[in-house]
Structures are given as C-alpha cells and as structure tokens.
Amino acid sequence: MKLDKTLYPHTVAIAIFAISLLYTGNRLFSLQSQAVLAIETFQSLWLLFGALFTWCYIRPLRCETDDKSFWLWSISWWILLFGRGISWGRDYFPDEPKLYFRIISIVLIGVTACALLLPVIRREIIRRFRQERLPVWDIVLLVLYFVIVDTIEHHRLFAFLFVYDTARTDLLEELFELPFMFSLFAVAFLLQRNDKQAGAKTLPVSRSVLHDVRN
C-alpha cells in the first residue's frame, strides 16, 4: 500500500466547513422543514453529479477492462447512495405501493453487492489497495464524517458533542452528511487523477515500443 500524505487545500476547506457546522447547524440554520428539504435536494444533486462525473471520466478513457469495470462499479455506488437518500423514490412518489420502492432498493443494493463476486472487480480492488497512492487525510476524515453522521442519527454516546438541541437532530444529520459526500467525491477524483497521470506516463513508452516494432 502506498500512502499519499499530502494535505490538500480541499481537504482543509472541507474540514473547516465541517467544524463550522457545529455553530451554524446549532445556532444559525432554520428548523423549518424547507431547510432540511433544501439540503436533501442538494445532496441528491451532488450524488448524481458524482455518478455523471465518473461516467464522463471513463467514456473517453482508453484503459484496461479492469479499470473501466472498477469505475462502473463506483457509479453504482453513487446511484445507490442517491437512491437511499431519496428513500428509493418514496420521497417523490409517496402514494405509490411500498413494494415498488422495496424492489428498487433490492435491485440497487443487489447490483452493487453482487459486483464483488466478479473476479475483475475483486482483482482491481486488490491491485489498487496494494499499488494505488491512497490520500490518507481525505480517507481518514471521510471515515470521521461518517462516524459523526452515524452518531447523530442513532443518538449514540457522543452525540451531545454535535447536537446541542435535540430538536435539531435531523437538521444536523443532513448537514454533516455534506462533508462526507464532499470527501467521498474528493477521494474518487484523486484516484481518477492518479489513473490519468499513470496513463500519461505509459503512453510515450507505448508509442516508443510501437515505433521500434515498425522499424
């Protein structure tokens, strides 16, 4: 495993934003349901943006099948998180039978989970874990933000550190999901950037080999 210990500006900016939520979420943000709805809508758009950004990245990419399969799998994760965020569509179609939404959740979760049974996905995960330069700070803070959201959502032992008024629990849960989503995108973006840099380095070598073969 190779570790990228660089403290990127975006990492610091997301961390400052997360810390600011302790005050803004507990003091400034309105408790009106429209505020929570607006945050949830932005989250949904951000998750769709993550899926679209990844799709646009792999479309022109001339890379190995393993790479493309990995990034297609990552798109399924973005869509899965999007589906969970909108309660599998129940938020927009509350009058439809619950069975429909149950089927949607089973399909999205099943596709993402069953992809791990494919050798190409497992092989690429192992390769990246062993050879990829993983952004340490982004991953550590990503996990931290997830723990904070889980603590707030399930009212765990240290929830009082983040929620000063229990009436704001739902609001703070949604707010602290934002730095988690931003960090998730940052990690994906850095991995994609590493892929591009690796491809740029191998391309001149490939051209040189092809030139030698032709001569």
Q: Over the stretch 49-97, which tens digit does the pLDDT of each residue have?
A: 999 999 998 877 655 677 888 999 999 999 999 999 999 988 888 888 9
Evaluate whether residue 43 is within a structural domain. yes
The model's pLDDT over 139-194, given as tens digits with 9 standing for 90+, comes to: 999 999 999 999 999 888 888 999 988 888 888 999 999 999 999 999 999 999 88
Evaluate whether residue 16 is within a structural domain. yes
H or E element, residue 133:
strand 133-135
Evaluate whether residue 100 is within a structural domain. yes
Evaluate whether residue 140 is within a structural domain. yes
More confident residue, 204 or 76: 76
pLDDT(214) > 60: no
Evaluate whether residue 35 is within a structural domain. yes
pLDDT (average), residues 17-39: 84
- Say if CB 152 and CB 172 are below 8 A apart: yes
H or E element, residue 4:
strand 2-4
Evaluate whether residue 133 is within a structural domain. yes
Q: What whole-number distance in Å separates Cα of residue 106 and Cα of residue 118?
A: 19
Q: What whole-number distance in Å separates Cα of residue 92 and Cα of residue 164?
A: 31
Q: What whole-number distance in Å separates Cα of residue 148 and Cα of residue 15?
A: 13
H-only helix segments in 115-159: 119-131, 136-153
Evaluate whether residue 213 is within a structural domain. no
Q: The domain containing residue 170 runs over which residues?
A: 2-208
H or E element, residue 13:
helix 9-23
Tokens representing residue 10 in the block: 């975006």
> Lowest-pLDDT range, 31-40, 41-50, 160-169, 193-202?
193-202
Counting the structural domains of the chain, the total is 1
DSSP state letter for 97:
-
- Say if CB 44 and CB 99 are below 8 A apart: no
More confident residue, 204 or 126: 126
> Lowest-pLDDT range, 96-110, 172-186, 199-213?
199-213
Evaluate whether residue 17 is within a structural domain. yes
> Lowest-pLDDT range, 5-9, 22-26, 186-190?
22-26
